[in-house]
Chain A
């Protein structure tokens, strides 16, 4: 009996496995997936009054994102979104995720999307966090552009060449 007790004491009884280590691969898998199968790549007509365009970033930094949203005028719901990105794999994935998340949501709701959520979803390493920041800025810029267009709905909404301020 003492022997059994000793055995258990000394851990000879198989113990439950330690918690599995955090998979480093998850970051790459989701990002790689968005990269290989990008969702919602494309363009809407900039001059369409129901479309808001957000263009953020700078080629000098190596990241430019263009996010467009199509809004239903009556309900204020975003019915469609598309993007185009010049940037690394994380940037492409961040903007792709952004377009997926804004679809079918209200404009006010979408403004609450934070870059940290995008970064967590893609498991972005610290050095790539600015990609998710840019995606958040792109969403906000698109909304702002749409609002500006609606404000000018008396005149024909002229396409804005200047990039929206983030």
Chain B
């Protein structure tokens, strides 16, 4: 009787521990139990997130509501119209587009092809030239590594810039380890590359030139048509990372003479986890696939194409095509409002990157004598991002700002505001108000500001290095 009860209980405890529910481990003196006791018997401790009427508390910080979202370069909210387009493909039309034998597959395939045309229309390409991937990072990987591996016998050189996205720079570094040569072109203090330098850097064995259209940190727009012209003359494939540019500035792969273009879904109010790669067919560009498998997407990217995500991206592109002009006008006005608001109340504010050749939705400002992370700490009600050292794990400031030649003390002070389709004037005004208040408070606390006010030239002081 007792043994039966014992066995029942043991079985229960074993099964519940497999299920992972928090159980108090019995005080058995076996090795397994001892090991189990050593580990915490509760499930993985996730950060607590209290959301009450008084406000939200997370990571020890309490704010009165959700912060204002001014970080559109990091990601964007999904447009409700895009969500409407996606939902049926999760709930009722959930077939695999590669299933050829039934309606579910056929309708999914139709939806994917429709999305392909929508994406292609936005960049003036043919739908046959669009390959869906998991994001711009994957597209960049395929472009840089895939292309160079394909042409590795004849082409051993890659040209890129110092301000590229990490995925491009890391792919280039990977290529360097394999024995390829990479030239990282410097940029001017406005963030734009020097076309003569590019011309002189191209060699007979150059296999790829990779320059991003709109920079994610500083928002400068590179002279795409001129670069495309140079690459066409010298017959070098031209790849561009257009993740931040798609749907925001007009893109035309014919005018820009682009061979490969990486696109991202979640930067244009689409879903996360999807992107696309434009690969030119005339003249044909060949790449070695990075994902091997059943040969989907013309053999370039195997794997089931995620229908809802792809439909979302297509819908986002269509919406972007319709709204690009209107968004541009609105965002430019908000950009001016933000800058005027801040400049009228504060001095010592520097805009990083060119002011003329810039995407209006990206405002990267440096506030002199104030450090970026401490400013972010005070701007908890505004979601923005910084290019300062403290926000990265090392003590190095952002490599993009360093490439611009920004003085080291200024590189620690930068904040990036992102203005998007859903940003309102009230949000901008509030962000200006909070920023001004915090900067003034921090300048009160800053020894550098004090020294400047007293008339001491900071650059003349010899600092004790650590």
- A contacts, CB < 8 Å to B: 2-3, 6, 9-12, 14-15, 18, 21, 24-29, 32, 35-36, 38, 41, 43, 55-66, 84-92, 127, 130, 133-134, 161-166
Q: Which of B436-464 contact A (CB under 8 A)?
A: 444-448, 450, 456, 458, 461-464
- Residue ID in chain B nearest A56 by CB atoms: B464
B464 adjacent to A165 (CB under 8 Å):
yes
| Among A38, A60, A90, A130: residue with most chain B CB under 10 A | A60
Q: Which of B1-36 contact A (CB under 8 A)?
A: 1-2, 5-6, 9-10, 13, 24-27
Q: Which residues of A contact B2 (CB under 8 A)?
A: 2-3, 6
- B130-138, B323-331, B389-397: which one contacts chain A? B389-397
What 5 pairs between A and B have smallest CB-CB spacing? A59-B409, A28-B60, A25-B60, A58-B463, A88-B373
Q: Does B466 contact A (CB under 8 A)?
A: yes
Q: Which residues of A contact B52 (CB under 8 A)?
A: none
B446 adjacent to A85 (CB under 8 Å):
yes
Q: Does B408 contact A (CB under 8 A)?
A: yes
Contacts A36-B378, A89-B377 supplied; 10 other A-B pairs, CB < 8 Å = A21-B45, A35-B374, A62-B389, A86-B370, A86-B371, A86-B448, A88-B372, A165-B464, A166-B464, A166-B466
Q: Does B426 contact A (CB under 8 A)?
A: no
Q: Does B283 contact A (CB under 8 A)?
A: no
- B contacts, CB < 8 Å to A: 1-2, 5-6, 9-10, 13, 24-27, 40-42, 45, 47, 59-61, 369-374, 377-378, 388-390, 393, 395, 397, 408-409, 412, 444-448, 450, 456, 458, 461-466
CA A38 to CA B397, docked complex, whole Å: 26
Q: Which residues of A contact B26 (CB under 8 A)?
A: 9-11
Q: Which residues of B contact A62 (CB under 8 A)?
A: 371, 388-390, 395, 397, 409, 412
- Residue ID in chain B nearest A19 by CB atoms: B40
B448 adjacent to A64 (CB under 8 Å):
yes
A41 adjacent to B445 (CB under 8 Å):
yes
- Shortest distance in angstroms between A88's beta carbon and chain B's nearest beta carbon? 4
B373 adjacent to A89 (CB under 8 Å):
yes
Task: Give 21 CB contacts A-B under 8 Å.
Answer: A2-B2, A3-B2, A9-B26, A10-B6, A11-B27, A21-B45, A58-B463, A59-B412, A59-B458, A61-B389, A61-B466, A63-B371, A64-B447, A64-B448, A64-B463, A86-B371, A88-B388, A90-B390, A92-B445, A130-B395, A134-B466
- Shortest distance in angstroms between B347's beta carbon and chain A's nearest beta carbon? 17
Q: Which residues of B contact A9 (CB under 8 A)?
A: 6, 26-27
| Among B6, B9, B370, B390: residue with most chain A CB under 10 A | B390
B24 adjacent to A11 (CB under 8 Å):
yes
A10 adjacent to B9 (CB under 8 Å):
yes
A163/B461 contact (C-beta < 8 A), A10-B26, A35-B378, A88-B371 known: yes
CA A92 to CA B26, docked complex, whole Å: 48
CA A92 to CA B372, docked complex, whole Å: 13
CA A107 to CA B1, docked complex, whole Å: 76
CA A54 to CA B412, docked complex, whole Å: 22
CA A39 to CA B224, docked complex, whole Å: 53
CA A12 to CA B5, docked complex, whole Å: 12
A55 adjacent to B378 (CB under 8 Å):
no
- Residue ID in chain A nearest B5 by CB atoms: A6
A88/B374 contact (C-beta < 8 A), A9-B26, A18-B42, A24-B47 known: yes
- Shortest distance in angstroms between B391's beta carbon and chain A's nearest beta carbon? 9
Q: Which residues of B contact A66 (CB under 8 A)?
A: 447, 450
CA A27 to CA B466, docked complex, whole Å: 24
Q: Which residues of A contact B47 (CB under 8 A)?
A: 24
CA A32 to CA B2, docked complex, whole Å: 57
| Among A21, A26, A89: residue with most chain B CB under 10 A | A89
Q: Which residues of A contact B463 (CB under 8 A)?
A: 57-60, 64, 163
- Residue ID in chain A nearest B378 by CB atoms: A35
- Residue ID in chain B nearest A2 by CB atoms: B2
Q: Which residues of A contact B61 (CB under 8 A)?
A: 28, 32
Q: Which residues of B contact A130 (CB under 8 A)?
A: 395, 466
CA A84 to CA B378, docked complex, whole Å: 17
A164/B464 contact (C-beta < 8 A), A21-B40, A29-B60, A60-B409 known: yes
Q: Which residues of A contact B393 (CB under 8 A)?
A: 127
A88 adjacent to B390 (CB under 8 Å):
yes
A162 adjacent to B466 (CB under 8 Å):
no
- Shortest distance in angstroms between A10's beta carbon and chain B's nearest beta carbon? 5
CA A163 to CA B463, docked complex, whole Å: 6
- Residue ID in chain A nearest B27 by CB atoms: A11
| Among A21, A41, A62: residue with most chain B CB under 10 A | A62
B445 adjacent to A38 (CB under 8 Å):
yes
CA A55 to CA B463, docked complex, whole Å: 9
Q: Which residues of A contact B462 (CB under 8 A)?
A: 162-163
CA A56 to CA B60, docked complex, whole Å: 30
CA A89 to CA B391, docked complex, whole Å: 11
A57 adjacent to B461 (CB under 8 Å):
no
A84 adjacent to B412 (CB under 8 Å):
no
CA A21 to CA B466, docked complex, whole Å: 36
A87 adjacent to B9 (CB under 8 Å):
no
